[in-house]
Structure 1
Amino acid sequence: MIKTILFLVVSAFLTHLIPFSDFFRNLDTTIHEFGHAVVTLLLSGNVMKIELFANHSGVTYSQVTSRWSLIPIALAGYTTASLFALFLFKQRSRGRQRLGLQVMTVIAIVSLVFFVRNEFGVMWLLGFVILNVLMLAFMPKWLMDLYYLLLAFLTLEESVFGPFSLILYTWDDPAKAGDATNLSLATPIPAIGWALIFTLFALWCAVRAIGHFLGGKKPSSRPQRYQTQYDE
């Protein structure tokens, strides 16, 4: 766990040195809000709109018929983001960066068509989709792999530092801790408790993601050929 935290701190420092890296940090926000939207729809709720902002924050406006459905919806944001970061590293370890980029692009397109309505969110998604398509269609594999790795690490960092920031928010004002506040209103667990749960889950996913990264890429499995020699 300590090694993972140190790895994330170093990664965050290095990625901040890369020009325009902040642009891609909204990918984690998009996944977070997409998780809220999907669970809302699965529970027969209505997603009115999603807004994405330049400061890497976002909000999902929805309507639900049951008070208890607020719990899985509020849980979905941070858990989806953490699991998605793990998914990206798992795909890389299997040499499936193209699949990872394609999944990101599909989520961005679905969010753009059905959910996101504010100007910044629409423009960001359009730019992200276009850039992904260019990477998938025209760029050499080595450049696409570097691009994928940048997105994977930025998503991993945000998926951990996001819920960690909730701990600070709840310490300052529990009523302004987003999903943790919503969960505290629907359950006996206080907001800081939910912030800790989100952070621990994010760290668990990060430990596994870093394990996939340090473990390297697994060679693609191919059917083995056997040769038999018969003596006459």
Structure 2
Amino acid sequence: MIRTILFLIVSAFLTHLIPFHDFFRNLDTLIHEFGHAVVTLLLSGKVRSIELFANHSGVTYSQVTKGWSLIPIALAGYMTASLFALFMFRQWAKERQRLGLQIMTIIAILALVLFVRNEFGMMWLIGFVILNVIMLSFMPRWLMDIYYMLLAFLTLEESVFGPFSLILYAWDDPAKAGDATNLSHVTPVPAIGWALFFTLFSLWCAARALKHFIGGRKKSRRPEGQRVQYE
């Protein structure tokens, strides 16, 4: 776990040196809010809108009739973001970066058409979709791979540092800890407990993601002297 945290700190330092890196950090916010929206719809709720902001924050406005459904909906944001970061690295290990980019693009289009209504959010989604289409259609494979890994690492970093910041918010003022606060209102667990849960889950996903990055593409070797005949 400590090695994962150190790796993420170094990764965050390096990605901050890349121009325009801030633009892509909203991908984690998009996945977070999209997770809230999808679970709301699965539980027969109504999603009124999603707003994405320039400071990488976001909010989903929804309406539900079943009180218990607030729990899975509140859980969905951070957990979906962490699982999606893991998914991105798993696709990289399987050399399916194109599929990963296609899925990101589809999510962005669905969010734009169905949910996002504020000006910044809509403009960011349009720009992100156009850039993805350019990468998928016109750029060489090596450049698309670099672009994909930039998105993967930024999403992984945000998926961990977001829940960690939630611990600080919950410690300072439990009423301002977002999803952790919402969960504390409908469960006996305090906001800081939920913030710790989100952080530990994100670190677990990050450790598995980094395993895919470090060793996922190692190909097995045949023992020396073994001969194989193909017909």
Q: TM-score, normalised by structure 2?
A: 0.95
Per-residue CA deviation, residues 71-130 of structure 1 (Å, 9 max, x unaligned), is 000000000000000000000000000000000000000000000000000000000000
In 1, distance between residues paired with 2:63 and 2:230?
64
In 1, distance between residues paired with 2:216 and 2:16?
24
In 1, distance between residues paired with 2:49 and 2:230?
61
User: Which consecutive aligned stretches of 4+ in structure 1 deviate over 6 angstroms post-superposition?
Assistant: none
- Structure 1, unmatched stretches of 5+, are 220-224
CA shift, 1:26, in A, is 0.1
Aligned-residue CA RMSD (Å):
1.3
Query: 1:58-77 maps to which residues of 2 (within 5 A)?
Result: 58-77=58-77
> For residue 222 of structure 1, what is the aligned residue in structure 2?
none
> For residue 25 of structure 1, what is the aligned residue in structure 2?
25
Give 1:83's aligned amino acid: L
Q: Secondary structure at the match of 2:188?
A: coil
CA shift, 1:227, in A, is 3.7
> For residue 177 of structure 1, what is the aligned residue in structure 2?
177
> For residue 103 of structure 1, what is the aligned residue in structure 2?
103
> Is 2:194 aligned against 1:201?
no
In 2, distance between residues paired with 1:155 and 1:76?
16
In 2, distance between residues paired with 1:205 and 1:3?
14
Identity %: 80
> For residue 167 of structure 2, what is the aligned residue in structure 1?
167
CA shift, 1:162, in A, is 0.3
Conserved? CA contact 1:94–1:218, under 8 Å: no
Give 2:195's aligned amino acid: A
> For residue 84 of structure 2, what is the aligned residue in structure 1?
84
In 2, distance between residues paired with 1:184 and 1:48?
23
Give 1:14's aligned amino acid: L
CA shift, 1:150, in A, is 0.1
In 1, distance between residues paired with 2:116 and 2:230?
58
Conserved? CA contact 1:51–1:118, under 8 Å: yes
Query: 1:1-232 maps to which residues of 2 (within 5 A)?
Result: 1-217=1-217, 227=230
Conserved? CA contact 1:29–1:56, under 8 Å: yes
Q: TM-score, normalised by structure 1?
A: 0.94
- Structure 2, unmatched stretches of 5+, are 220-227
CA shift, 1:2, in A, is 0.6
CA shift, 1:9, in A, is 0.1
Per-residue CA deviation, residues 142-175 of structure 1 (Å, 9 max, x unaligned), is 0000000000000000000000000000011000
CA shift, 1:217, in A, is 2.1
In 1, distance between residues paired with 2:43 and 2:81?
19
In 2, distance between residues paired with 1:226 and 1:154?
45
